Homo-oligomer: A and B are copies of this chain.
Amino acid sequence: MKIWEKDIHSHNRNREIEEFTSGKDSKLDLLLAPHDVIGTIAHVMMLESIGLLNQKDLEILIKELRHIYIHEILTNNFQMDEGIEDVHSQIEFLLTDRLGKVGKKIHSGRSRNDQILVDLKLFIRTEIKEIVLIVYSFFDLLLQLSEQYKNILMPGYTHYQIAMPSSFGLWFSAYAESLIDDMLLIHTAYRITNKNPLGSAAGYGSSFPLNRKMTTELLGFENLNYNVVYAQMGRGKMERIVTESLASLARTLSKMSQDICLYLSQNYNFISFPDFLTTGSSIMPHKKNPDVFEIIRAKCNRISSLPNEISLIVSNLCSGYHRDFQIIKERFLPVFDELKKCFSIFRYMLNHIVVRKDILREDKYKYLFSVEVVNQLVQKGYSFREAYQKVATDIKNERFKPLKKNFSHSHEGSIGNLCNQEIRDMMRKLINKFDFEIIQKVIERLVYGKNP
Contacts and interface: CB of A to CB of B under 8 A. Distances in A.
Contacts of A254: 315-316
B104 A384 contact: yes
A413 B224 contact: yes
Contact of A298 (B165, B326, B372, B388): B326
A390 to B, nearest CB: 9
A262 interface: yes
Contacts of A55: none
Interface stretch (A31-39, A66-74, A233-241): A233-241
Nearest to A406: B207
A392 B9 CA distance: 14
B280 A207 contact: no
A40 interface: no
User: Copies of this chain, how many?
Assistant: 4
Contact of A170 (B227, B261, B345, B389): B227
A301 interface: yes
Contacts of A418: 227
Contact of A265 (B102, B161, B165, B367): B161
A157 to B, nearest CB: 4
Interface stretch (A120-128, A131-139, A271-279, A436-444): A271-279
A378 interface: yes
B385 A3 contact: yes
A181 interface: yes
A158 B281 contact: yes
Nearest to A376: B207
Given A162-B266, A298-B313, A370-B286, A20 B393 contact: no
Interface in A373-419: 374-376, 378-379, 383-386, 388-389, 391-393, 395-396, 400, 407-415, 418-419
18 contacts: A4-B282, A7-B393, A21-B279, A111-B282, A156-B203, A158-B203, A160-B267, A163-B287, A164-B202, A170-B229, A207-B375, A207-B407, A269-B364, A294-B323, A298-B324, A309-B309, A312-B312, A316-B317
Given A108-B375, A173-B229, A173-B230, 13 more contacts: A13-B277, A17-B277, A159-B261, A163-B281, A202-B284, A205-B413, A226-B423, A227-B413, A256-B319, A267-B267, A302-B312, A307-B308, A315-B315
